[in-house]
A and B are shown apart, each in its own frame.
Chain A
Amino acid sequence: MAGDIQSLSATAAAEAIANGGLTRSELFEHYRIRAAADTLNAFTWVADVEPAPVDGALGGVPLAVKDLFCTEGIPSQAGSKILAGYCPPYTATAVANLEAAGAAVLGKTNQDEFAMGSSNENSAFGPVLNPWDHSRVPGGSSGGSAAAVAAGLAPWALGTDTGGSIRQPAALCGIVGLKPTYGAVSRYGMIAFASSLDSAGPLTRDVADAALCYRHMVGRDGNDATSVVFPEPIETPTAERLDGLTLAVPTALVDGEGIEPGVRQSFEASLDTARSLGATIIDCEIPSARYALSAYYVIAPAEASSNLSRFDGVRYGLRVDESNLDAMYTETRHDGFGAEVKRRILIGTYALSSGYYDAYYGRAQRVRTLVARELAGIFERADFIVTPTSPTVAFGLGDRTSDPLAMYLSDLFTIPMSLAGTPAISIPSGLSEGLPVGLQICGPAFSENRILGAAHALEGAIGFDGSVTWGGAN
């Protein structure tokens, strides 16, 4: 029975519970035991007991939640020493919506500190291992969520994506990750990294699970002034063909330096698959994409430098006692934050400083506007933009920790969509040297149903077998 349970997607498990073939407690206990035995360091907290059941469409399917989400009475530490042991008095709207639909919180997953990173090596709670190769990173910042789903420690998980933090680890771990349209999912209770870019989304074994999870996440929230009403219900994707659809490839971007041949090959194969399903492939250009990474690394640190000011030792989290206020602030933040977080606070503080604002923050915002305009232009003649999700497969632990710029390049293909606030999904497109490669499919704002449909068709045709990792013992 354990093997049978393990093979069920979240959608199938919810159906099995609804049909009486499986009890929610059996399912929860199955995953609770697996999560508690985690050897990947994917979890920072695992439930001791099943939460009180809630009736709903999700039928009690266990959910792993990235530590960036506040969960009432449960440690919510954002991968940071400064929040070690912090248990919030309230639950994030995205999590609460899923709980109200019947999801049961299984545990909290490890991440890069405050979601700053692309390898999950910036966690105060240690790095997460990639289930495909334990000497490699799972990607980040939602590395714990991606590894937990890929290793079958959880049927599905919540992540957050600011510049690629759902899509890139999903790609590196061989699973599906959806970054929604900005504002479609409430950010209330999601510990803020860069407010104008942060989005919450699902990491799942397959596209249908992503649609099911996402359906119960979206919605306008009175507690988030930037949240919006999603204009249509999220459907269960059923498409098997791509007839009449046009996929645009930003050739110059994809052909740029740093893309691994194996990734390139897998991407070309995906394009062939798309053609065979009836799609038309065209070239496109995102001229300002070459500035996008720089703009992102001004805007995101600028907002972060302000968002992280609340961690001052006064009300919660770490406090280093000192004889005066300034020393208390300095030592608390010195001890509480890791190197990458400090680096970004410094960059952001500098970028917002009087006299530099226009040159950095102002100019970065203009690049952002350009990127959004260029993507909108492409979507006038194409249904989707497709790229590899990451230029490389999972890299070795420690390989890039001493070179922040190399690390930042991990997000080269994902950042333009983050700047534009448009939705994108990463699905596994195959293997390169035995490691998963991700395909990114992006559409205009609120095109999630169409993206999920196209992803479903490609997923079926590609036939990637993720059970290599989630099917067995990790």
Chain B
Amino acid sequence: MAGGDLEPVIGLEIHVQLRTATKMFCGCALGFGEPPNTRTCPVCLGLPGALPVANAEAIHYGLMIGMALDSELAPVSTFHRKNYFYPDLPKGYQISQFDLPLCSGGKLGEVNIHRVHLEEDAAKLNHAGASGRIEGADSSIVDFNRGGTPLAEIVTEPELRSAEQVGEWLRLLRTTLRTLGVSDVNMEEGSLRCDANISLRPVGTDQLGTKTELKNMNSFRFIERGIRAEVERQRAIIEAGETVTQETLHFDPKSESITSLRSKEEAHDYRYFPEPDLPPVVITEEMLARAAASLPELPAAREQRYIETLSLSPETARVFAWRAELADYFDAVCAADQSLDPHVAANWVTELQGRLGDEEAEDSKVTAAALAQLAAMVVSSQVNQGGAKQVLDQLVAAGGEPASIVADQGLEAVGGADELAPIVAAALEANPELTERLRSGDMKPIGVIVGEVMKQTRGRADGKEVTALVRKQLGLS
């Protein structure tokens, strides 16, 4: 391949476990950590004679997802069988969709959606033995509780260009799905799973290079690291003048290594054909109306609302809106004290999140009411910025109520001439040389005097107020 800069071309396939009451094709309740094989029936065990019946709620959720992603919704959608043998697939085929998916096209953020279709999840395999894989396992056991869980598979166009963009976009998708209430969208628990198709091409061309598929990465961090590692691996191959092999890969986050699961030569012929046990799904006006009525405010709309109604900065609006937990928390802070300026609330939510890292604010010890109270205390000068940040540190560590923390620890702002004037006077008196320089118009030492006052008040005074008092006492203002 010719020299010059190479750019990654990345497309995603995301599997989303839907949070319906029952499985995709039978009446079993979804599994949530129950003892193995207790949420099963003849249908999801693939017993002889059992037949699937499509879950209407899963179709409803699928339509909601399609609407949220601005997809075209099929008037008639069909299920197909995808045939292959594996112990986690009890029927020897997965019921999925093929040429008539529920949703086609669409867009989320800057990324175009190729399609969204419904299918059933496989069972869970546990391999005993050193390899952890079915090859070389001493024994393998199958837990069918997960088998048959409804999945929406969302496929993007190959339009993503970096690991970072993938991470950011996936967070938006996750927020969108979470807002819809159709899934738990928990990557670690497997309710949101992502495969990435990755290839490289010279910048400025629109041809596609040979792609590899990176399978089943179960956290945002691993996805970004896995994609970065695969992009570098391909770059090294191409720059060495060799060619990339089309294959399915596994990223091991522990060793950062990429290993091959199977090459194209071993690729399955899935022998797709229309599932004869399920009549085509006809999407009625009623179904569409119900799905439309079920749509909550989505991230894009929320972002707009924060900018237009609350006058938040576009950056803050996007950060909040694309992370629903954060936006929900921000809304709760605003609701806890409606007199609070949303800007001030936003600043304190940002301040809090900075201290929490990956932890969600709503899971922290800081209640929205506590944060609202703290912000209000700052606005009313009951505590200054510095003191308030100390209070916030304590709230994060142990929770509690800001007012009592301030009272207990004497963090009230020292304010007003009555309280501050004698302290300022004492500071000036203790530093006659500096006082003299100030009187003569050399304002440089004023910081030292203010610092002295802050020291005396243990940071509880307001810097501006102290400066003003110094000037006043020296007759400068």
Contact = CB atoms under 8 A, between A and B. Distances in A.
A191 B83 contact: no
Contacts of B90: 310, 314-315
Given A188-B50, A225-B54, A352 B271 contact: yes
Interface in A1-48: none
Contact of B273 (A69, A311, A315, A357): A357
B269 interface: yes
Contacts of B379: none
A316 B47 CA distance: 8
Interface string B33-69: 0000000001101111111111000000000000000
The main secondary structure of chain B at its interface with chain A is loop
B48 A354 contact: no
B276 A196 contact: yes
A120 B273 CA distance: 30
Contacts of B279: 225-226
Given A190-B49, A222-B53, A225-B53, A353 B271 contact: yes
Contacts of A70: 47-49
B269 A354 contact: yes
Interface string A73-98: 00010100001001011101000000
A404 B134 CA distance: 40
Interface residues of A, number: 45
B224 to A, nearest CB: 34
Contacts of A196: 276
Contact of B45 (A195, A305, A315): A315
Given A90-B42, A189-B49, A309 B273 contact: no
B21 to A, nearest CB: 16
Contact of B278 (A83, A223, A225, A314): A225
Q: Which of A88, A310, A324, A361 has the largest number of chain B CB atoms within 10 A? A: A310
Contact of A192 (B49, B54, B85, B135): B49
B222 interface: no
B447 to A, nearest CB: 76
Contact of B92 (A188, A306, A316): A306
Given A195-B276, A309-B83, A352-B83, A224 B51 contact: yes
A315 B46 contact: yes
A226 B48 contact: no
B81 interface: yes
A325 interface: yes
Contacts of B271: 305-306, 349, 352-354, 357
Given A88-B42, A195-B277, A225-B278, A309 B93 contact: yes
A303 interface: yes
A314 B90 CA distance: 8
Interface in B262-278: 269, 271-273, 276-278
Nearest to A352: B271
A235 B85 CA distance: 46
Contacts of B81: 306
Contacts of B302: none
Interface string B81-101: 101010100111100000000
A442 B322 CA distance: 63
A188 B25 CA distance: 13
A355 to B, nearest CB: 9
Nearest to B26: A223
Interface string B280-305: 00000000000000000000000000
B238 interface: no
A190 B92 CA distance: 18
Contacts of A83: 48
B107 to A, nearest CB: 31
Contacts of B49: 69-70, 76, 88, 92, 187-192
A100 B189 CA distance: 44
Nearest to A68: B49
Contacts of B85: 309, 312, 329
Nearest to B134: A325
A306 B271 CA distance: 9
Contacts of A315: 45-47, 90, 142
A309 B51 contact: no
Interface in A181-228: 187-192, 194-196, 222-226
A195 B279 CA distance: 12
A89 B50 CA distance: 11
Contacts of B142: 314-315
B91 A314 contact: no
B127 to A, nearest CB: 11
Contacts of A305: 83, 271
A196 B277 CA distance: 7
Nearest to B91: A310
Contacts, number: 110
A302 interface: yes
Given A90-B42, A329-B85, A352-B271, A303 B92 contact: no
Nearest to B43: A223
Contact of A306 (B47, B53, B83, B278): B83
Interface in A304-326: 305-306, 308-312, 314-316, 324-325
Nearest to A91: B49
A224 B26 CA distance: 11
Given A306-B81, A354-B269, A225 B51 contact: yes
A306 B93 contact: yes
A458 B91 CA distance: 45
A83 B49 CA distance: 12
A139 to B, nearest CB: 23
Contacts of B278: 225-226
Given A195-B276, A196-B276, A306-B92, A324 B46 contact: no
A445 to B, nearest CB: 15
Contacts of B276: 194-196, 226, 303
Nearest to B278: A225
Interface string A240-270: 0000000000000000000000000000000
A316 B90 CA distance: 11
Given A314-B142, A329-B85, A88 B47 contact: yes
B273 A361 contact: yes
Contacts of B135: 324
Q: Which of A92, A190, A223 has the largest number of chain B CB atoms within 10 A? A: A223
Contacts of A316: 47-48
Q: Which of B48, B52, B276 has the largest number of chain A CB atoms within 10 A? A: B48
Nearest to B42: A90
Contacts of A86: 48
A324 B277 CA distance: 32
Contacts of B93: 306, 309
A191 B51 contact: no
A15 to B, nearest CB: 33
B91 A309 contact: yes
B277 A309 contact: no
Nearest to B277: A195
B92 A310 contact: yes
A448 to B, nearest CB: 21
Interface string A402-431: 000000000000000000000000000000
Interface of B: 42-43, 45-54, 81, 83, 85, 87, 90-93, 134-135, 142, 269, 271-273, 276-279
29 contacts: A78-B48, A88-B42, A89-B47, A90-B47, A192-B48, A192-B49, A192-B51, A192-B277, A196-B276, A223-B43, A225-B51, A225-B279, A303-B273, A303-B276, A305-B271, A306-B81, A306-B83, A306-B273, A309-B92, A309-B93, A310-B46, A310-B48, A312-B85, A314-B90, A315-B142, A325-B134, A329-B85, A352-B273, A353-B269
Given A225-B52, A306-B271, A309-B91, 16 more contacts: A70-B48, A76-B48, A83-B48, A90-B42, A187-B51, A192-B49, A224-B277, A302-B273, A305-B271, A308-B92, A312-B85, A312-B87, A315-B90, A316-B48, A353-B269, A361-B273
Closest 9 CB pairs of A and B: A309-B92, A195-B276, A352-B271, A196-B276, A189-B49, A191-B48, A70-B49, A310-B46, A354-B269
